[in-house]
Amino acid sequence: MSTTEKPGSQVISPRGSDTAAGGAPRATRLQAVRGMNDVLPDEAPLWQRVEDAARTVFAQYGYRNLRVPVVEATALFVRGIGDATDIVEKEMYTFADRLNGDSLTLRPEATAGIVRAAIEHSLTYERPQRVWTMGPMFRHERPQKGRYRQFHQLDAEALGFEGPDVDAEQIMMLARLWKALGLADVSLKINSIGDADDRLRHRALLIEHFERHRDVLDADAERRLHANPLRLLDSKHPPMQEAIRLAPRLIDRIGAPARAHFEGLTAALDAAGIAYEVDARLVRGLDYYNRTVFEWVTGALGAQGAIAGGGRYDGLAALLGGKPMPACGYACGIERLVLLLREQGATAHDAPLAYVAHAGDAAARMALAVAESLRDRGHAVVVHAGGGSLKSQMKRADASGAAVALIIGDDEVAAGTVTLKPLRVAAPQSAVAVADVAARAASYAA
Ligand code: AMP
């Protein structure tokens, strides 16, 4: 029996096998879902470098880790992100829970879940909170370089803070992260999209303006014109660009409180020596922002140049049924940071200090003991497993990236020594007493 396969689709039995009874097992080869990538061991060290640097920066600014589920009630995102946004309209992975029919969604971003958690656990009841999280997000976008359906974000959120100082702090955190990673070619855009009443007034002006330019609107813009006209400014549709350029600018019309907030932000950035461009057209893909919006961009990744974006969302908590809670946060795409690092020639390895090759039963036992004694001192050691000649073991040692090979055979067992062979520098091998192996090996560490 063979399964019928339509081009582009795979028929996969629940047990992962499509064998006829009695036939030779021939399991269907499963593949990762399009747009959802594996991070292979050779690639992971750069990811870890990014994640470690981020954890350090979060801690340096007093942000504490908060972990929220990957799956939330669909209503959280519909209400929180806004139903006239790209994300909610067409990018969410939404499904019915088979047990009770609840509509659930794989999180397309982290902020809504974090605010939900803050409300649910009264996190800001006594004092404001700085929190961070990192992990996978899911959006059904057209995959391309730097844009995936499962991607990973670093998120920081300052919950319960009103002033522009935390907005500036978050921008400075990211500047510090770029510095820690050695990232070049990143720049900062900021804007203020004012308060709700500013936006309401501006909204009316925008609708009027684009109604006068109806002939250039595409279908998306037509549909959003009355639902979410601010989003029209985000459009890449070429015929609309001139109308977008001429559109009334929100930042020219924001009220005194939002203006004071924005001036507070720019003053803090100036004082910190952080360069920025005020981009009056900068809006965010999500509905819940007010006042500050910012984006860090790079010219090095083509169309997917946004590496981090954020802003203030003072109205979100109330929208989700909580008490009003001023807040500011950002999200940064890990894949794009890794791409940018690679683009700049960065490499990272996770090689062990030593690879232990051995021949014979007594040597195998000694190899384990020597490796443990090195690990006791905090070193990473790989003990050869799977047999084979010493020659083939040395090939593995070399491929492991280890700084040294430790070779143990009958002679070494008898003498209580280890033969230490440096692998990355031209130096002779030598017999080393077991007690001295760790120190000698460490002297060859990269
Ligand atoms: P957003 O939540 O849309 O503001 O995105 C914040 C950051 O997440 C962006 O600046 C990107 O670095 C990253 N990002 C957003 N969408 C994707 C995606 N589909 N694939 C990879 N990274 C993404």
CB 132 near ligand 1, within 6 Å: no
Tokens of 185: 């070619």
- Residue 1: its pLDDT value, please? 34
- Residue 3: its pLDDT value, please? 36
Going by alpha carbons, the residue nearest to atom 4 of ligand 1 is 309
Rounded to 10°, the helix 44-60/164-181 angle is: 140
Q: Do domains 44-195+254-343 and 354-442 have the same CATH topology?
A: no
Atom of ligand 1 nearest to the CA of 296: 10
User: Probe ligand 1: pick from 336, 338, 340, max atoms within 8 Å of CB?
Assistant: 336
Contact 81, 112 (CB under 8 A): yes
Tokens of 405: 């090979």
Superfamily of domain 354-442 in CATH is Anticodon-binding domain (3.40.50.800)
Alpha helices in 182-255 (DSSP H): 196-212, 219-227, 241-246
Could you give the 3-state DSSP secondary structure of residue 152?
Answer: strand
The amino acid sitting at 304 is Q
Span from the CA of 388 to the centroid of ligand 1 (angstroms): 47
How far apart CA 238 and CA 204 sit, in angstroms, is: 24
Could you give the 3-state DSSP secondary structure of residue 302?
Answer: coil
Tokens of 97: 């829970």
- DSSP classification of residue 402: -
Contact 330, 174 (CB under 8 A): yes
Mean pLDDT, to the nearest integer, of 215-240? 90
Rg (CA), the chain: 28
- DSSP classification of residue 147: B
Cα separation values, 208 from 84, 196, 199, 247, 303, Å: 19, 18, 14, 10, 31
Q: What is the pTM of this model?
A: 0.88
Phi-psi label, residue 25: left if phi above 0, alpha if psi -120 to 50, beta otherwise: beta
pLDDT digits (tens, 9 = 90+) for 370-379: 999 999 999 9
Give the CA count within 13 Å in the CB-facing half-sphere of 440. Answer: 20
* Domain limits, the chain: 1-31, 44-195+254-343, 354-442
CB 77 near ligand 1, within 6 Å: no
pLDDT digits (tens, 9 = 90+) for 264-303: 999 999 999 999 999 988 877 666 789 999 999 998 888 8
Going by alpha carbons, the residue nearest to atom 14 of ligand 1 is 333
Tokens of 340: 């940018």
Please give the CATH number for the structural domain made up of 44-195+254-343: 3.30.930.10
Examine the pLDDT at 185 and tell me if it is beyond 50. yes
Please choose, from the candidates 374, 386, 314, the residue with its C-alpha nearest in 3D space to the C-alpha of residue 124: 314
Span from the CA of 143 to the centroid of ligand 1 (angstroms): 12
Atom of ligand 1 nearest to the CA of 87: 3
Span from the CA of 333 to the centroid of ligand 1 (angstroms): 5
How far apart CA 66 and CA 111 sit, in angstroms, is: 11
pLDDT class of 382 with cuts at 50, 70, 90: very high
- Residue 303: its pLDDT value, please? 81
pLDDT digits (tens, 9 = 90+) for 310-350: 999 999 999 999 999 999 999 999 999 999 999 999 988 88
CB 151 near ligand 1, within 6 Å: yes
Q: What percent of the chain has pLDDT over 70?
A: 94
Span from the CA of 308 to the centroid of ligand 1 (angstroms): 7
Please choose, from the candidates 65, 69, 111, the residue with its C-alpha nearest in 3D space to the C-alpha of residue 284: 111
CB 82 near ligand 1, within 6 Å: no
- Residue 21: its pLDDT value, please? 56
Contact 118, 127 (CB under 8 A): no
Burial of 399 (0-12, 13-18, 19+ CB in 10 A): exposed
